[in-house]
Chain A
Amino acid sequence: MQVLRYIGRRVLFVVPQLFGIILVSFFLVKLIPGDPAVMMLGPTASEQSIADLRDKLGVSKPLVVQFGRYMHDVVRGDLGTSWQTTRPVTEDLFQRFPATLELITLGLLVAIAIGFPLGVAAARRKRGAVRRFADYYGLLAGAVPDFWLALVLIFVFYTLLGWSPPPLGRIDMAVIPPPTITGSLVIDSLLAGDLRALLSALGHLLLPVLTLGVINAGPILKMTQSTMERTLNSEFIRYAETCGLPRRVVLRQAVRAALPSVLTIVSVLYGFLIGGAVLVEIVFSWGGAGQYAVQGVLNADLNPVLGFVVFSAVLSLVIYLIVDLLYFALDPRMRG
């Protein structure tokens, strides 16, 4: 019941939060230099035709009026149209967000699979090879840019070894994608029972997911390690030791206690990666949401940028809600 009341309160807050986010990002996005009319008409356009187009796009009106119009449409679920794709932004984003989410969800799962056990192992022993490896790993993962790692992985696994499919989007060009249900090619091809599409989708996910996993394992590793170190030194773990509980039981209790912190960093990374995976998306021609927004910024196509912000905000709020619910499940003190 408490949980339900909590969710209710959170959902109520979502509306003003969203309004605030849109308000701030609208004016920030409008600060992005660049005139869509100039971009659309190119260098040989006359001033008259540019002015006409500006009127038509509504970008010659005062910002406040533009914002009013934008909010008026947003409330109706209309995020405007992208002049680059000439399609409604909402449709574009519904098509692209699943691509990004599939990528970063799997990427983070790999990151957890690498970072969490390594962090636990490193926390258990202050010296030794594992600890040194974890230290170097944390350092490198923080220093290596993700797009660079992506290019290296492409060079090794595609160009040299030929093990991975070409870095050309989400599915082999010769494979017909499964009918869209969730937007995740893996899930959709499973639902459709399409083995060929599934394998192709998994193959194409391999390198980008590995890239995101390897890079983002760094912060997860660091967080796990420091939390585990703290936990292993904490009073209740020392008490468990004095109670003579077997080593594995003590470790399990410590891991359990470290989970909320790891969950926090994972949720922060998730929120960050919605836009932060864009370089990896671009390198692999992923066609994801981040790529869409960046194209928007580069071409003074602002509706996609704003739409992306709105979608990300909603998604982040949902993620944080889920995380809070997970905290509830993990830590009985939250329920009090």
Chain B
Amino acid sequence: MSAAASILDVADLWVAFPSYREATIYALKGLDLRIAPGEMIGLVGESGSGKTTLARAIMGLVPPPGVIERGQVAFAGLDLRAMDEETRRGLLGRDIAMVIPNPRAELNPVLTVGQQIANIALHHLGVGRKEAMAVALDMLRAVRIPDPERRLHAYPHELSGGMAQRVVIAIALACSPKLVISDDATSGLDVTVQAQVLDLLQSMVRQKGAATLFITRDIAITAHFCSRIGIIYDGQIVEMADTRAFFARPAHPYSIMLLAAFSHNPALRARWTRGDVAIAGQRAGAGCAFAPRCVRRQPRCLAEAPELRTLGFGHQTRCHFPVQAPA
């Protein structure tokens, strides 16, 4: 995969949160990630692993006091970090769109659904107010909201969670973006609704030919929708593989731990979880970040941080002692 062929190329990205009294906290520690056009990639991690920071860093909107310390973020070959703000704002919402997890809080409470979709069209597509409203109506239809003419004039608080999520998808896809970032987008929904919305998102993205970065805590979801899966832990990718390869042969102990957590097999879960470490995210010193929680920990793991290494075709992991056999 060459850089030119990827729609998003994140390389060695460090995001720091300086703290007044204590040592600076790094949310991302030299993260690498490439997404090819049209590709749907899942990124799984616990809360605090740096998923959301990554999404924001890509858009250039790391919340203060966070700063991107170094690294590269390129979108379709354009260096997003070197870009001036106006140009970047022009890209956001048009070429890079975001689907958010909590739409009823994140949609503007005092604007109607129609106005909010139309606003995007108005500012990114350069159409008039009337046309923008037409776009909004089309999008509501496209996301299969019942009675779209009426919903156009509804306020966010008048919508159900699933319906609001559809509106967010409509906003994200209104300008046919090249990259959609979905950040835990369905975590707030009922399971049944979740499935519907995910189906919709998938079909919409496919239809528009957009690449998707699908950030989630729920590893099960990625199995259905993504072609590749990345596992993120403490600001780094610890495993990256094609979906089939990943589920067939997860290599990193953390990946296995995540999978075990979703299984309904207590024995399996117990095998992959250390009893003596309760707190996640403990500092690992010089060694592997996951070492304190790792059931397969060796002395080397505490002394030396592993590099990302390739196991097979497109399968990479960051572990001194990757799991070789099916778990």
Contact = CB atoms under 8 A, between A and B. Distances in A.
B120 A257 contact: no
A244 B91 contact: yes
A236 B89 contact: no
A332 B157 contact: yes
A244 B61 contact: no
Given A243-B93, A245-B123, A332-B155, A235 B105 contact: yes
Interface string B65-93: 00000000000000000000000111111
A247, A249, A332, most chain B CB atoms within 10 A:
A332
Nearest to B98: A242
A241 B61 contact: yes
B158 A331 contact: no
Interface string A314-336: 00000000000000001111001
A336 B120 CA distance: 26
A327 to B, nearest CB: 11
B279 interface: no
A244 B97 CA distance: 9
B35 interface: no
Contacts of B286: none
Contacts of B119: 243, 245, 249
A239 interface: yes
Interface in A266-309: none
Interface string B103-122: 00111111110000001100
B109 A333 contact: yes
Given A238-B61, A243-B171, A244-B124, A253 B109 contact: no
A30 interface: no
Contacts, number: 73
Given A332-B157, A333-B155, A246 B107 contact: no
Contacts of A235: 100, 102, 105-106
Contacts of B88: 244
Assign chain A's interface to a size class: 20 to 34
Interface in B240-272: none
Nearest to B109: A333
B90 A244 contact: yes
A106 interface: no
B89 A244 contact: yes
Contacts of B157: 332-333, 336
A40 interface: no
Interface string A98-122: 0000000000000000000000000
Nearest to A336: B157
Contact of B94 (A241, A244, A249): A244
B59 interface: yes
Nearest to B108: A236
Contacts of B105: 235-236
Interface in A221-256: 233, 235-236, 238-247, 249, 253, 256
Given A235-B105, A240-B108, A332-B112, 8 more contacts: A236-B105, A243-B92, A244-B89, A244-B94, A245-B93, A246-B123, A253-B108, A333-B157
Interface of B: 59, 61, 63, 88-94, 97-98, 100, 102, 105-112, 119-120, 123-124, 155, 157-158, 171
5 contacts: A236-B106, A236-B108, A244-B123, A249-B123, A257-B108
